[in-house]
Structure 1
């Protein structure tokens, strides 16, 4: 296992694509272990693609792009602006609420961060908000997208860890809303201190808020429909993904009338690129996943951790600390695919609910995408807004600290995470 780990990090350091780094490391394991035929490696790649639950990933990725092209994103932005634009730090508040609403339709933190950087970034800077502050609010706010269903990360975690995706979706709702509240409070305090206030800070009337909500009704209805159809047994998570695609096309063409065949083609193009990138990483991880199980890595780590710490929550806290550091250097999708088979058996053995752990794990590894040195969402936002990484890093500290404190609190308050799935599934 040491050889695979060293080779993987060396390939990453020299700039090899993530999928190639995983694939080459996996093939080297099979080539150097004489007891396993190389044909097994090819079988493991093929096996990873033969999964019905995994269909949810391309469906939701495609649905997210369709919703961006169908006018749904624009209407969610208008609703967010009416709802919270009047607060101190109004546009930053809008970014955080929009990330929460987009989490219910796109499932991708990076896609949400890039979209908001294009839509809100220039306006925030023009209105006098600091560039670093604006970029940090947008990038860290997009973390909510990885927790609110239908999170792509939660789908992968459920698939690899053999955990109910439906329960994970429900478990992510309350933590996602708490993240929104925590980041909005942080934004409010910073904005009040720096004078990032709105000239016209009059609260919206109930009628204005109602009109904005009615205009965005089809977008706001989708997350509700997603949860109800899964809980009611009408659709599996994979089938809900297919429903999301049909829903986005129907709303775009029939109700919003913003969708055109040119936009549909553009959504196809963007989705194919994203799906190809995600799927090749998933397929290559099949070999490394086999190596992890074959070498009994979960059992070894479990014995080591259980020997040193007795409190289950402290064990999970140590795991989360490791994931936080790993997330600084490795993309969240890779961490979920490679480390879920290792840590789920460990936390399950000490009595921690894997649904509870899944929410904590996804939140902490996705946070790495908003922090240096290799944060994907961070680089996307800073590039689009022309912000220096140093400036972004300093401004992001209060937002990152808020998320870390919340994750630790959720670790010690499992009922906050689990009461919705328990109420729905028993």
Structure 2
């Protein structure tokens, strides 16, 4: 009876509008009272949940992404992408996807990706003859790459939710191929629509101008080299790479690009601290919630449920995908990762699925939720940037959902897409 009361309390509190972070804290207290656990034990778990050195990577990645997002990098990345694909029919839509790929490798955030790239490209695409709904749909769907391509904040959260048993470096590398596959799929769809609807071609950028554009964008793209190169070479840990990338982003923005005013830095820092504070509260309460789940043996019961459902791993994976897609439309990504990872890891380990592979399955599932109503945060941002209703953007998104779900099936049932690079690097 206690597990049903615990999970029921979770859904009731979320349904009545209690913030997810506080919901997890309240449910942890309810669970402790149900099993006669001293509340001191809950507080100890909350404190130990945030008392981890690896957690420092999150504020550094968030700050580095925020600095680069507001420091002129988005505009330069758009120009950089235009050098390679802007001259093709439908080239502006390809530029949008490619710019999202580059920007995602710096910001690690789909919301920041949509806001930054969308602000630059949605008006520009409309000016060139693309429907605003289509431009917004391309921007939103392309931004899902940011949660796969390193440095993804959500990969760090997944590693923490897994109890540190999955390395951040392996998750970063595992996201490269799925992110590229997603980008290529979206670009293929854009080419199809461009030919079918006769979208305009762009102009070939002169060589001298192209060299200047590439040179300017390279400063920002070096952030990715610092993060991945530092981690994979063993010179830095993920946290150290994040801090050095933050310092580099500050240097490039304030001393090379110089598009950002010093007077705006305190405002940016305030927003970053506010974001990080919310995430840390969520992580602390999620740690206590996971502890209560373990004491109640809920992960074991969920494993038994799926085992009784079928002995076919492919069917169970499909059921998990459906569950994640449904929940992703109702809750934000970070809370779901923290809540579901401790529950589902025993299931996938029983099936013999690599936790790194499952991390990518979870990311793409919940990434689709970010662009799906009624609670898709990326969809809301895209609609606000384009000044369009959610209904119009969702209608334009329908073909792209098909592409995203196709990529989800490939990532789910072809593990090597995710595991090939980590295996080559000796991380698996």
> What TM-score do the two structures reach when normalised by structure 1?
0.94
Following the alignment from structure 1 to structure 2, what is the Cα–Cα distance between the partners of residues 69 and 202? 27
Q: Secondary structure at the match of 2:399?
A: helix
> Where does residue 194 of structure 2 map in the other structure?
191
- Check if 1:165 corresponds to 2:168: yes
Contact kept in structure 1, 2:69 and 2:112, CA below 8 Å: no
Aligned residues: 423
Following the alignment from structure 2 to structure 1, what is the Cα–Cα distance between the partners of residues 135 and 114? 11
Contact kept in structure 2, 1:231 and 1:425, CA below 8 Å: no
Following the alignment from structure 1 to structure 2, what is the Cα–Cα distance between the partners of residues 211 and 92? 23
What is the 5 A alignment of 1:138-287?
138-161=139-162, 162-198=165-201, 201-204=202-205, 208-287=209-288
> Where does residue 68 of structure 1 map in the other structure?
69
> Where does residue 82 of structure 2 map in the other structure?
81
Following the alignment from structure 2 to structure 1, what is the Cα–Cα distance between the partners of residues 78 and 275? 24
Deviation at 1:8, TM superposition (A): 2.4
The 1:259–1:391 alpha-carbon spacing in structure 2 relative to 1, beyond 3 Å, is: closer
* Cα root mean square deviation, aligned: 1.8
Following the alignment from structure 1 to structure 2, what is the Cα–Cα distance between the partners of residues 69 and 139? 19
Contact kept in structure 1, 2:75 and 2:120, CA below 8 Å: no
> Where does residue 96 of structure 2 map in the other structure?
95
Following the alignment from structure 1 to structure 2, what is the Cα–Cα distance between the partners of residues 135 and 63? 26
Once the two structures are superposed, what CA deviation does each residue of 1:145-194 show, in whole Å capped at 9, x if it has no partner? Answer: 00000001111111111211101101111111111100011112123222
Contact kept in structure 2, 1:65 and 1:270, CA below 8 Å: no
Q: Give the stretch that moved more between structures: 170-179 or 68-77.
A: 68-77
Contact kept in structure 1, 2:73 and 2:220, CA below 8 Å: yes
Q: Give the stretch that moved more between structures: 94-103 or 305-314.
A: 305-314
Contact kept in structure 1, 2:86 and 2:203, CA below 8 Å: no
The 1:207–1:2 alpha-carbon spacing in structure 2 relative to 1, beyond 3 Å, is: farther
> Where does residue 18 of structure 1 map in the other structure?
20
Following the alignment from structure 2 to structure 1, what is the Cα–Cα distance between the partners of residues 422 and 208? 34
Q: Give the stretch that moved more between structures: 285-294 or 264-273.
A: 264-273
> Where does residue 367 of structure 1 map in the other structure?
368
Contact kept in structure 1, 2:128 and 2:200, CA below 8 Å: no
Where do 5+ consecutive residues of structure 1 fail to align? Answer: none
Deviation at 1:330, TM superposition (A): 1.0
Q: Secondary structure at the match of 1:163?
A: coil
Once the two structures are superposed, what CA deviation does each residue of 1:356-388 show, in whole Å capped at 9, x if it has no partner? Answer: 111111111121010011101111111222211
Contact kept in structure 1, 2:168 and 2:238, CA below 8 Å: yes
- Check if 1:399 corresponds to 2:400: yes
The 1:249–1:171 alpha-carbon spacing in structure 2 relative to 1, beyond 3 Å, is: same
Where do 5+ consecutive residues of structure 2 fail to align? Answer: none
Following the alignment from structure 1 to structure 2, what is the Cα–Cα distance between the partners of residues 136 and 343? 32
Following the alignment from structure 2 to structure 1, what is the Cα–Cα distance between the partners of residues 422 and 393? 37
Moved over 6 A (4+): none
> Where does residue 351 of structure 2 map in the other structure?
350
> Where does residue 11 of structure 2 map in the other structure?
9
Following the alignment from structure 1 to structure 2, what is the Cα–Cα distance between the partners of residues 15 and 89? 43
Following the alignment from structure 2 to structure 1, what is the Cα–Cα distance between the partners of residues 392 and 35? 47
- Check if 1:303 corresponds to 2:313: no
Q: Give the stretch that moved more between structures: 301-310 or 146-155.
A: 301-310
The 1:319–1:272 alpha-carbon spacing in structure 2 relative to 1, beyond 3 Å, is: same
- Check if 1:291 corresponds to 2:292: yes
Following the alignment from structure 1 to structure 2, what is the Cα–Cα distance between the partners of residues 109 and 126? 24
Deviation at 1:103, TM superposition (A): 1.4
Following the alignment from structure 1 to structure 2, what is the Cα–Cα distance between the partners of residues 323 and 336? 10
> What TM-score do the two structures reach when normalised by structure 2?
0.94
Once the two structures are superposed, what CA deviation does each residue of 1:309-362 show, in whole Å capped at 9, x if it has no partner? Answer: 223233222212211111011111111000011112211221111111111111
Deviation at 1:397, TM superposition (A): 1.4
